C-alpha cells in the first residue's frame, strides 16, 4: 500500500501499532510493507477454513450450511488455542488497537471459550476493549461463589399467642406501636426472643426506654428496637366544612413494623434495619436479624480478643522494659562508684609520687631549716590525705544497690512510662 490510497490510512496506522506493518518514505510518498508477523497473520487469515462467507438473504431456511459449521469449528479451535496461549503467556494477552473485524473475531473467540466448555476448572476469562482501545484478555481464578448463599431457616410466627405464653421480658417491654399492631408486635418479639435463646443468646429488658429489649451473645449486648412507621395523611380535622379543601397533613400509623439494631460507628456499612416491604414481611426477616446479631457478636469477640492480646503484649513489653531499666540502673550505679574509686586511687598514687619527688629534691638541694620544716609538714599532710582517699587499704566491695524510684528508672525506659504500661 502507498500514500496514493488515503482511505486506507487508518488501517495502516492500526496495523503499524500492532507491529504487522512498517512504513517508510519511498520516492514521493509513504509505503507500507508487511513485517514477518504481518505475513504470518495474512497467511492465517487467508486460510479458507477460517473465513466467514456471507449467506444469501433471499431464501430463509433453518438448515445450517457447511460454511457456518466450518466457521464455528474454527472458532472453537481458536478458543482452545486462546486458552493455551493465555496459559503460556502467564494469564494475560494484549492486542494493540485491533481493526473492527479483528476485534469482532476476538469477541467471538472469547464468547466461545466461555460457553463451549474449553475453560480450565476454576478459571474464568476477563475481557476489556470491546469497542475501542487495546483488547486485553486475562485468565483469572474464579473466586466467585458457585451458588446462592445458604438461606437461613425460616422462623415461623404463630397467628395466635395466649397471653400467658408470652416471654416475660417481651410482655413487659415498651412497644411504640398502635393498638392494631400490638398483638402482632408481641408475637414477633416472642418468636425473636425464643429463637435467640435457642441459639444460646440471652434476652433482657432494655435500660433505655427508647429501646425495646437487649439481646446478648458472646459477652456483647445488642439493643433491639421495634417500631412502627408513620405516613402523612390529610388532616380532616383542620377544616370546618366538608366542601373546604384540606391543605394540612398529619401523621398516622402505617401498620408497617421495623426492627433495628443500635447504630455502631465501628460497624458502619452493615445492615441494621429490617421491616415490612412490598415483597416480604418483617416475620420473614427474623432469621437475618439473629444472624446479624451473631455476626456482630463474633466481630466484637474477635476485636475484644485482639485487644486483650494487644494489651497483654504491651504489658509484657513494658515489664521487659522495666526489668531492663532496673538492670541498667544498677549497672550504672556500680559503674559510677567504680569510676569514683579508680579516680581516687589515681589521685592517691599521684599525690604519693609528688611527695616522693619533693623529698628527693629536698635531699639533693637542702633548704634552710624553716623552709625545710615547712616542706616536710606539707609532705606529711599530703601523704595523710593520699592515705585518706586511697580506697585500696579499705578493701572495697560491691556497693549497695541504690533505692529504685520511678524517676530513677525513667532515663532507661526508652519512652515507656515508669508507672503504667503506656508510652509517654
d(CA 132, CA 103): 9
- Domain stops at, among 254, 273, 302: 302
Tell me the residue range of the domain where 44 lies. Answer: 6-52+64-141
Q: What is the pLDDT of residue 314?
A: 95
pTM: 0.53
Q: Name the pLDDT band for 148 (thresholds 50, 70, 90).
A: very low
Q: What residues contact 86, with CB distance under 8 A and at least 6 apart?
A: 92, 93, 137, 138, 139
DSSP 402: P
Q: How many CB atoms lie within 10 A of CB 134?
A: 13
Query: Is 182 in the same domain as 291?
Result: yes
Question: Which one of 254, 283, 302 terminates a domain?
Answer: 302
Using CA atoms, how far apart are residues 277 and 282, in angstroms rounded to an integer? 8
329 and 257 housed in the same domain: no
Rounded CA separation 365/379 (Å): 16
255 assigned to some structural domain: yes
Q: pLDDT band at residue 58, thresholds of 50, 70 and 90?
A: very low
Residues 174, 229: one domain? Answer: yes
* Domain membership flag for residue 146: no
Q: By CB neighbour count within 10 A (0-12 exposed, 13-18 middle, 19+ buried), where does 420 fall?
A: exposed
- Map residue 19 onto helix, strand or coil: coil
Tell me the percentage of the chain whose pLDDT exceeds 70: 87
Q: Give tens-digit pLDDT for 365-423.
A: 887 888 888 999 999 999 999 999 999 999 999 999 999 999 999 999 999 999 999 98
C-alpha cell at 67: 460454511
Structural domain total, the chain: 3
Do residues 270 and 352 share a domain?
Answer: no
Same domain (yes/no): 206, 108? no
Residue 131 sits in the same domain as residue 175: no
Of 281, 302, 323, which residue sits at a domain end?
A: 302
Report yes or no on 126 lying in a domain.
yes
Q: Do 220 and 290 belong together in one domain?
A: yes
Burial class (CB in 10 A: 0-12, 13-18, 19+), 103: middle
How far is Cα 15 from Cα 32, in angstroms, rounded to an integer?
10
What pLDDT, on a 0 to 100 scale, did the predictor assign at position 5? 64
Between 132 and 226, the more confident residue is 226
- Report the alpha-carbon distance of residue 259 to residue 215 in Å, rounded: 13
More confident residue, 102 or 60: 102
The C-alpha cell that represents 234 in the structure block: 390529610
Check whether residue 126 and residue 167 sit in a common domain: no
- Residue 207 within a domain: yes
Residue 333 resides in a domain: yes
C-alpha cell, 187:
408475637
What is the CB neighbour count within 10 angstroms for residue 247? 9
Q: Is residue 48 part of a domain?
A: yes
Q: Are residues 290 and 391 in the same domain?
A: no
Mean pLDDT, the chain, integer: 84
Q: For residue 254, tell me if it sits in a domain.
A: yes
Residue 172 shares a structural domain with residue 128: no
Band (pLDDT 50/70/90 cuts) for residue 61 is very low
Residues 196 and 287 in one domain: yes
CA dist., res. 326 & res. 402, Å (int): 10
pLDDT at 328: 96
253-310 tens-digit pLDDT:
889 999 999 888 888 888 999 999 988 899 999 999 999 999 999 999 999 999 999 9
pLDDT of residue 3: 56
Residue indicated by cell numbers 593520699: 386
Does residue 158 lie within any of the structural domains?
Answer: no
Which of 164, 172, 82 is CA-nearest to residue 119?
82
Is residue 205 located within the same domain as residue 293? Answer: yes
125, 114 in Cβ contact below 8 A?
yes
Q: What is the DSSP string of 129-149?
A: -SSSS-EEEEEEE--S-SSPP
Q: Which single residue is written with the C-alpha cell 609520687?
A: 353
Amino acid at each position: 500500500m502507498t500514500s496514493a490510497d488515503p482511505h486506507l490510512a487508518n488501517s495502516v496506522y492500526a496495523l503499524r501499532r500492532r507491529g504487522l506493518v512498517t512504513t517508510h518514505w519511498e520516492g514521493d510518498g509513504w509505503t507500507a510493507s508487511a513485517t514477518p508477523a504481518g505475513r504470518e497473520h495474512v497467511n492465517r487469515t487467508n486460510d479458507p477454513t477460517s473465513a466467514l462467507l456471507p449467506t444469501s438473504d433471499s431464501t430463509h431456511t433453518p438448515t445450517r450450511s457447511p460454511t457456518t459449521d466450518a466457521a464455528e469449528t474454527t472458532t472453537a479451535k481458536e478458543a482452545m488455542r486462546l486458552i493455551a496461549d493465555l496459559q503460556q503467556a502467564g494469564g494475560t494477552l494484549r492486542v494493540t488497537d485491533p481493526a473492527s473485524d479483528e476485534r469482532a473475531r476476538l469477541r467471538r473467540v472469547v464468547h466461545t471459550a466461555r460457553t463451549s466448555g474449553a475453560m480450565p476448572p476454576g478459571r474464568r476469562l476477563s475481557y476489556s476493549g470491546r469497542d475501542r482501545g487495546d483488547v486485553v484478555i486475562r485468565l483469572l481464578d474464579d473466586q466467585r461463589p458457585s451458588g446462592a448463599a445458604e438461606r437461613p431457616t425460616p422462623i415461623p410466627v404463630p397467628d395466635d399467642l395466649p397471653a400467658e405464653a408470652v416471654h416475660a421480658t417481651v410482655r413487659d417491654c415498651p412497644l411504640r406501636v398502635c393498638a392494631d399492631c400490638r398483638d402482632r408486635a408481641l408475637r414477633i418479639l416472642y418468636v425473636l426472643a425464643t429463637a435467640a435463646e435457642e441459639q444460646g443468646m440471652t434476652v433482657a429488658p432494655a435500660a433505655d426506654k427508647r429501646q425495646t429489649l437487649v439481646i446478648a451473645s458472646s459477652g456483647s449486648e445488642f439493643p433491639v428496637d421495634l417500631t412502627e412507621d408513620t405516613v402523612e395523611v390529610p388532616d380532616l380535622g383542620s377544616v370546618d366544612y366538608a366542601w373546604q379543601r384540606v391543605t394540612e397533613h398529619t401523621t398516622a400509623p402505617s401498620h408497617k413494623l421495623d426492627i433495628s439494631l443500635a447504630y455502631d460507628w465501628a460497624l458502619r456499612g452493615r445492615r441494621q434495619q429490617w421491616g415490612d416491604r412490598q415483597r416480604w414481611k418483617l416475620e420473614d426477616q427474623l432469621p437475618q436479624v439473629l444472624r446479624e446479631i451473631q455476626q456482630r457478636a463474633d466481630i466484637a469477640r474477635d476485636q475484644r480478643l485482639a485487644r486483650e492480646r494487644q494489651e497483654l503484649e504491651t504489658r509484657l513489653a513494658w515489664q521487659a522494659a522495666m526489668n531492663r531499666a532496673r538492670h541498667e540502673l544498677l549497672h550504672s550505679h556500680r559503674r559510677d562508684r567504680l569510676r569514683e574509686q579508680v579516680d581516687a586511687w589515681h589521685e592517691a598514687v599521684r599525690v604519693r609520687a609528688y611527695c616522693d619527688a619533693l623529698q628527693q629534691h629536698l635531699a639533693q638541694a637542702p633548704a634552710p631549716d624553716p623552709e625545710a620544716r615547712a616542706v616536710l609538714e606539707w609532705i606529711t599532710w599530703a601523704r595523710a590525705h593520699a592515705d585518706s582517699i586511697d580506697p585500696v587499704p579499705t578493701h572495697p566491695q560491691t556497693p549497695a544497690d541504690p533505692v529504685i524510684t520511678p524517676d530513677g528508672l525513667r532515663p532507661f525506659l526508652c519512652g515507656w512510662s515508669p508507672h503504667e504500661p503506656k508510652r509517654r
